[in-house]
Chain A
Amino acid sequence: MFKDPFDPKTLLKPRCSCGGDHAPADHARLSAVPASDEQRFSRVVDAAVLRAVFPVDAQRRQFLKTVGATTAMAAISSVFPLATAREAFAQGGAPEKKDLKVGFIPITCATPIIMAHPMGFYSKQGLNVEVVKTAGWAVIRDKSLAKEYDAAHMLTPMPLAISLGIGSNPVPWTMPAVENINGQAITLAIKHKDKRNPKDWKGFRFAVPFDYSMHNYLLRYYVAEHGLDPDKDISIRSVPPAEMVANLRADNIDGYLGPDPFNQRAVFDGVGFIHVLTKELWDGHPCCAFTVSKEFATQNPNAYRALLKAIIEATAYASKQENRKEIARAIAPTNYLNQPETVLEQILTGTYADGLGAVKKDPNRIDFDPFPWNQFAIWIMTQMKRWGQLKGDVDYAKVAADVYLATDTANMMKEMGLTPPDPSKKTIVIMGKAFDPAKPNEYVESFAIKRS
C-alpha cells in the first residue's frame, strides 16, 4: 500500500495512497486504524524521517539516486535512531486495550496460552495479560460470549459451533491460531489391559471432554472404523477433563479419549493405561485453539495483533523439543496447570510411562503448530454432519475461511520471519483413509456408520 520511500522513482508529496487528503507520511498519525502489515509501519517511519531531512522531493530523489537506498538509510540511521522509531511505531499501533483476560482450561493443549504468561511472551508485546483458569468448556464459551474474556482457549470445533449457532446463539467467532496438534490419547482402565482390540469394547462407557471436540469426533471415528456404532455399541458422555481420572478410578467409566495431562495422570496414579495416542490415528490433527470474537479482532486490531503475535511466538517456542522441559516447569505450578512436573514433562517430551510397565518414546506425542488449516475446519464440519450435530447444507469452504483465519496467521508468521505453509497444500489421512476437502459431502457419504 505504501510506496517505498527509498525508491527514487516514488513521489512522496502529493497524496497518500489510502486516498485521504494527506501526505502518506501523515497517514499513520491521521488514521485511527493503521494498516496491518508491520513493514508498512517501518516505511511510514522511514518516509517521515526522510521527509524531515529532505523537505523538497526533488532533493530527496536526487540524494537517493546518488547514494543508493541502502546507503541513504545507513546515513540517516547514523543521525536518527531509525530502528527504534520503527519498533516504537510497530507497537504504536499501540494496543487499544492492554489489560486483557484470556481464559484457559487447565490441560496441556493450552500450553502456549499458559506459558506465554510466566515466560513473558505477552509482556514482550506490551500486553498485561491475565490468564484465568476456567472450569469447563461451556463456562469458557459463556464467559467469552459474555465478553468477560478477551480471548480464550477453546476446542477447535467450538468456534465453528459458535459461529454456526450450534449449542448457542450464533456469534461470529474467529480462530486465528491452533494451539497444539496431537497430544490426546485413549486411556482405558487397568482392568481392561487385555482388551486392546476395539471390537471387544461393546458396552464400554467412554468420556470425552465436550460434544464439540476433536476428542468426540476422533473417538467416534476410531470405534466406527473398528465396526462399532458409537451411539449404539458404546456410550459416550461429556465429562470435564479433570473429572475423567476420578471417574475412571471410581469405575464410572471404562475409558476416555481425553486431553493431557489426564491421560498421563491416570498412569501416574496407577488408575489407567494409555491404549493409543491420537497421533497414531491422525498424525498432526488439531486439538485446541486460540480464539477471539470477530468483534474483539475488529475493534482492537492492535491488541489482537499483539496477542496473536505472542501466541504464535509461544507456539513456535513450544514446538522446539529442547524447550519442552523448561515449559513443563513453567506451567506446572498451582497458578497454571496444578500438576506434578514429571507428568507434564512426560507429555511434553514424549518419553512416558504407558501404564503397563513400559517406557515409550514419541517426541511428537504432542506438538505445537499455530497454522489454522481450513481443511481442519472442513473435516470437523463433516464429522458434525456425520454425527447429526449439523443439519442441512453448509458452505464448508466459506465457514472454514471465515472462522479459521489462515491468512492472518500466515501474514503474522511472515512478519515474524517464519515461513507459513501453503494454505492449499494439506493432506489429511486418518487411519489410512484420505480426506479430500474439496468433496466434503462425498466424504460424509463414504462412511458406513453415520447418523445423517
Chain B
Amino acid sequence: MTTLKKSLGLRAALLSLLIFAAIVGLWQIAAQPPAASGPAVDPEYAKLVGAAAATGAKSAMPTPADIGVTIWKHLMDPFYVKGTNDKGIGIQLAYSLGRVLLGFGLAALFAVPLGFLIGMSPLVYRALDPFIQILKPVSPLAWMPLALYTIKDSAISSIFVIFICSVWPMLINTAFGVASVRREWLNVARTLEVGPFRTAFKVILPAAAPTIMTGMRISIGIAWLVIVAAEMLVGGTGIGYFVWNEWNNLSIANIVTAILLIGVVGLLLDQGLARLTKLVTYPE
C-alpha cells in the first residue's frame, strides 16, 4: 500500500517534470528569433532599432533561458533601492504582502464579529442580507475610484480595496458557520448553564472555525489576486506596480518573473491558511 502510494507520488513528480520540460522546450523553440528574412537594411537604421526590427520582424518573446537569467538577477539582489520608482523585487513583494495582510487583517477583525452577529440573529441576517447581496458581487477594483475620491490617499485606498474584497467570503462563511452550529451542541451548553460569551468562544467559535477558515482562505486568495491589479492601477510600489512598470518597458522577461513570484507567494499564502484550517478542523 505505502510502496504503491510512494511510487504513485514519484510517478506524478516525474510526469510533472516531463510536462515542465516539454513546455520549456516548446517555448524555447517557439521563441527562437527568426532567421533574417526581411530585406537587408541600412546599418545606420539597424543601429537605431531592436535586433528583430532590424531584420524586418517584430521583437520576439523572450526564451526560457532569458527568463531564467532575469529571475536569477532579481533573486540575487531582491532588496535594492535605486530611487522612488525603482526598488528590488523583494521590496515590491513585501509592499504587496504588507497591504494584503493589513487589508485582510482588518477585514477579518470586521467580518468575523459581524458574521457572528448575523449568524446568531435571524433578524440581523435578514436586515443585512440585501446589502451583502448587492455589495458582494461588485468587482473590488470598481471600488478604487470611489476610494481614491473619498479617502484621498492611494495607499489607504488600495488597503481599502483589499479590505472590501476579502470581507465578503469571511462574512458569509462566518455567518453560515455560526448559523449552522448543531442545535444539540448549543443545547449541551444551555443545559450546562454556560453564559453567552463562554458559549460563543467555547462552542460556537470552534464549531464554526473550519467554515470561517475556509472563508479566510478564499479571501486571501482574492486579496492576492486583487492587490496586483490594484497596484497596477495606482502604482507607486508593490509587485503590481513592478509588472506595470515593466509592461511600460515591454519587458516580458521581467513580467514573467513577476508572474512566477506572484504565483509562488499566492501558493504560500494559500498553503499557510490551509494549514491553519487543518488545525481547527474536527472530524465528526
Consider the complex of A and B and state whether they touch directly, i.e. have CB atoms less than 8 Å apart.
yes
User: Interface of A with B (CB < 8 Å)?
Assistant: 106, 130-136, 138-139, 142-143, 145-148, 242-243, 245-246, 249, 265, 267-271, 333-340, 342, 346, 351-353, 355, 357-359
CB <8 Å contact, A131 and B45: no
CB <8 Å contact, B245 and A352: no
CB <8 Å contact, B152 and A148: yes
Contact of A139 among B42, B53, B59, B235 (CB under 8 A): B235
Using CB atoms, name the residue of chain B closest to A104.
B85
CB <8 Å contact, B248 and A106: yes
CB <8 Å contact, A271 and B58: yes
- Is B3 on the interface with A (CB-CB < 8 A)? no
CB <8 Å contact, B53 and A142: no
Q: How far is the CA of A407 from the CA of B233 in the complex (A)?
A: 36
Q: How far is the CA of A138 from the CA of B148 in the complex (A)?
A: 11
CB <8 Å contact, A352 and B48: yes
CB <8 Å contact, A134 and B235: yes
Q: How far is the CA of A351 from the CA of B47 in the complex (A)?
A: 12
Using CB atoms, name the residue of chain A closest to B249.
A338
- Is B84 on the interface with A (CB-CB < 8 A)? yes
CB <8 Å contact, B153 and A146: yes
CB <8 Å contact, B50 and A148: no
Q: How far is the CA of A351 from the CA of B58 in the complex (A)?
A: 21
Number of interface residues of B (CB under 8 A): 40
How close is A259's CB to chain B, nearest CB, in angstroms? 12
How close is A250's CB to chain B, nearest CB, in angstroms? 11
Contact flag A135-B82 (CB < 8 Å), given A246-B250, A269-B50, A353-B48: no
Pairs A–B under 8 Å by Cβ, sample size 5: A146-B148, A245-B250, A269-B53, A335-B85, A338-B246
User: Interface of B with A (CB < 8 Å)?
Assistant: 39, 41-42, 44-45, 47-50, 52-53, 56-59, 82-86, 145, 148-149, 151-154, 232-236, 241, 244-250
Q: How far is the CA of A379 from the CA of B220 in the complex (A)?
A: 51
Contact of B50 among A142, A243, A268, A334 (CB under 8 A): A268
How close is A277's CB to chain B, nearest CB, in angstroms? 16
CB <8 Å contact, B42 and A357: yes
Using CB atoms, name the residue of chain B closest to A249.
B58
CB <8 Å contact, A270 and B152: no
Q: How far is the CA of A96 from the CA of B233 in the complex (A)?
A: 31
Using CB atoms, name the residue of chain B closest to A334.
B86
CB <8 Å contact, B42 and A133: no
Which A residues touch B145, using CB under 8 A?
Answer: 138, 142
How close is A285's CB to chain B, nearest CB, in angstroms? 24
Using CB atoms, name the residue of chain A closest to B248.
A242
How close is B82's CB to chain A, nearest CB, in angstroms? 5
Q: How far is the CA of A130 from the CA of B236 in the complex (A)?
A: 11
Which B residues touch A353, using CB under 8 A?
Answer: 45, 48-49, 53
Using CB atoms, name the residue of chain A closest to B83.
A335
How close is B198's CB to chain A, nearest CB, in angstroms? 47
Using CB atoms, name the residue of chain A closest to B53.
A270
Q: How far is the CA of A147 from the CA of B154 in the complex (A)?
A: 10
Contact flag A131-B250 (CB < 8 Å), given A146-B152, A269-B53, A269-B59: no
CB <8 Å contact, A135 and B234: yes
Q: How far is the CA of A351 from the CA of B245 in the complex (A)?
A: 26
CB <8 Å contact, B148 and A142: yes
Q: How far is the CA of A106 from the CA of B85 in the complex (A)?
A: 11
CB <8 Å contact, A357 and B245: no
Q: How far is the CA of A146 from the CA of B146 in the complex (A)?
A: 12
Which B residues touch A136, using CB under 8 A?
Answer: 233
Which B residues touch A338, using CB under 8 A?
Answer: 85-86, 245-246, 248-249
CB <8 Å contact, B42 and A132: no
Which A residues touch B250, using CB under 8 A?
Answer: 245-246, 265, 269
CB <8 Å contact, B245 and A267: no
Q: How far is the CA of A271 from the CA of B247 in the complex (A)?
A: 15
How close is A272's CB to chain B, nearest CB, in angstroms? 10
Which A residues touch B85, using CB under 8 A?
Answer: 131-133, 334-336, 338
Which A residues touch B233, using CB under 8 A?
Answer: 135-136, 139
Which B residues touch A131, using CB under 8 A?
Answer: 84-85
How close is B211's CB to chain A, nearest CB, in angstroms? 38
CB <8 Å contact, B50 and A335: no
CB <8 Å contact, B58 and A359: no
CB <8 Å contact, A334 and B82: yes
CB <8 Å contact, B236 and A132: yes
Using CB atoms, name the residue of chain A closest to B81.
A335
Which B residues touch A143, using CB under 8 A?
Answer: 148, 154
Which A residues touch B39, using CB under 8 A?
Answer: 357
Q: How far is the CA of A138 from the CA of B233 in the complex (A)?
A: 10
Which A residues touch B58, using CB under 8 A?
Answer: 249, 269-271
Contact flag A358-B152 (CB < 8 Å), given A135-B232, A142-B145, A335-B83: no
